[in-house]
């Protein structure tokens, strides 16, 4: 799939609308028709304009990315901002709801810049830029009250349901992230559910390889210190706030955290 940043007259208005919705924490209506993106290229332009505004006006830079291998009719790529990234070990994580929807993932840490350039990056070059990996979970949510009635470009403009990222313990090697592993959810020490745990791609790094070259083509890039998540091992899980939650990722380790309402 080819996506090119496609600026359009309503791009800035759409970005400001989504930032306001992000800050209010209340899901609202669709973007106004006059500023609604009509293509994936326009949606990505809204993402980038949002990133520019958040950096310029709130010093809130891109700390991570979510990515997945695209399909012929869908692309999953979105920046995740520093204000929405938390470390599980740092203590309770603020929550606005009593129940949070999460996805268990592996986050790859970039240790070396992968800037824009003319020639594609090889997998070996990208592997060499990965400095580590952590157990992680993505916090899901949407700024549209009825996402089922919203177009794919609008969802992409809204960062594909991302509300934040929680980073947990490091794993032994970034290249030890498996294609499948059991995922066990426990609450207050009691096992609640277990999943076979299958990554959407055979290789969890596949989404990172695609992202590095997608950003390169857009004149952008990955920066040292950023993290990249590439897909959930168990779809989405609903977990309660104000309880002790733990996720066991096969033999890789356990991510423990608490959301505080």
**pLDDT tens digit string along 175-217?**
889 999 999 999 999 999 999 999 998 899 999 999 999 999 9
The encoded tokens of residue 170 equal 């490091």
Distance, in Å, from the CA atom of 72 to the CA atom of 209, rounded to the nearest integer, reads 18
pLDDT single digits (tens) 67-100: 999 887 778 899 999 999 999 999 999 999 999 9
* 1 vs 203, higher pLDDT: 203
Interior angle at CA 39, CA 29 and CA 106, nearest 5: 80
Residue 162 lies in a domain: yes
**Within-domain flag for 248:** yes
In a domain, 245, yes or no: yes
Q: What crossing angle do the helices spanning 11-24 and 40-58 adopt, rounded to 10°? A: 60
Which helix (H) or strand (E) covers residue 34, if one does? none
- Residue 94 is predicted with a pLDDT of 94
Residue 79 token pair: 């920046």
Instruction: Report the CATH number at residue 170.
Output: 3.90.850.10
Asked if residue 242 is part of any domain, the answer here is yes
Give domain status of residue 35, yes or no: no
pLDDT tens-digit readout, 19-29: 999 898 888 99
Q: Is 233 a member of any domain?
A: yes
Confirm if 110 and 130 have CB atoms less than 8 A apart.
Answer: yes
Q: Does some domain include residue 26?
A: no
DSSP letter at 122 equals P
Q: Which two tokens stand for residue 194?
A: 């277990």
Q: Across all residues in the chain, what is the average pLDDT?
A: 95
Query: Is the separation of the CB atoms in 234 and 181 below 8 Å?
Result: no
Provide the number of structural domains found in the chain: 1
Q: 186 Cβ partners below 8 Å, 6+ apart?
A: 192, 245, 246, 247, 248
Residue span of the structural domain in which 117 resides: 61-260
Under 8 Å between Cβ of 182 and 194 = yes
Lateral strand order in the sheet of 93-94: 93-94, 253-260, 244-249, 183-187, 190-195
Is residue 41 a part of any domain in this protein? no
Q: What is the pLDDT of residue 13?
A: 97
Q: Provide the pLDDT for residue 176.
A: 87
Between residues 4 and 233, the one the model is more confident about:
233
Q: How many CB atoms lie within 10 A of CB 98?
A: 10
Contacts for 28 with CB less than 8 Å, ≥ 6 apart: 21, 143, 144, 145
Per-residue pLDDT tens for 150-184? 999 999 999 989 999 999 999 999 888 999 999 99
| Cα(153)–Cα(95) distance, integer angstroms | 27
Q: Are 29 and 145 in contact (CB under 8 A)?
A: yes
Residues 125-135 have pLDDT tens digits of: 999 999 999 99
Interval 245-259: pLDDT, tens: 999 999 999 999 999
In this predicted structure, what is the pLDDT of residue 73? 73
Q: What is the pLDDT of residues 16-70, one digit of tens each?
A: 999 999 898 888 999 999 999 999 999 999 999 999 999 999 999 999 999 999 8
Check residue 1 and give its pLDDT. Answer: 61
Length of the chain: 261
Structure tokens at 84: 């929405």
Q: What is the pLDDT of residue 129?
A: 98
Residue-wise pLDDT for 96-108, tens only, equals: 999 999 999 999 9
The answer to whether 69 and 209 are in contact (CB under 8 A) is no
- In the numeric block, which tokens belong to residue 90? 């740092």
């Amino acid at each position: 799939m080819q996506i090119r940043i496609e600026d359009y007259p309503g791009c800035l208005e759409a970005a400001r609308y989504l930032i306001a919705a992000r800050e209010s924490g209340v899901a609202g209506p669709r973007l106004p028709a006059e500023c609604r993106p009509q293509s994936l290229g326009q949606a990505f332009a809204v993402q980038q304009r949002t990133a520019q505004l958040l950096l310029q006006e709130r010093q809130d830079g891109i700390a991570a990315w979510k990515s997945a291998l695209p399909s012929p009719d869908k692309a999953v790529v979105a920046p995740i901002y520093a204000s929405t990234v938390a470390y599980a070990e740092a203590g309770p994580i603020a929550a606005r709801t009593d129940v949070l929807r999460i996805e268990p993932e592996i986050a790859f840490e970039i240790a070396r810049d992968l800037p824009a350039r003319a020639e594609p990056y090889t997998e070996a070059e990208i592997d060499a830029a990965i400095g580590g990996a952590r157990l992680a979970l993505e916090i899901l949510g949407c700024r549209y009250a009825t996402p089922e009635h919203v177009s794919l470009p609008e969802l992409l403009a809204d960062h594909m349901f991302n509300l934040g990222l929680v980073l947990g313990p490091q794993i032994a090697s970034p290249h030890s992230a498996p294609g499948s592993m059991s995922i066990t959810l426990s609450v207050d020490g009691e096992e609640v559910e277990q999943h076979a745990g299958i990554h959407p791609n055979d290789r969890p790094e596949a989404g990172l390889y695609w992202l590095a070259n997608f950003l390169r083509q857009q004149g952008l890039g990955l920066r040292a210190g950023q993290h990249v998540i590439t897909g959930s091992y168990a779809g989405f899980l609903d977990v309660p706030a104000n309880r002790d939650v733990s996720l066991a990722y096969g033999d890789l380790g356990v991510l423990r955290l608490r959301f505080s309402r």
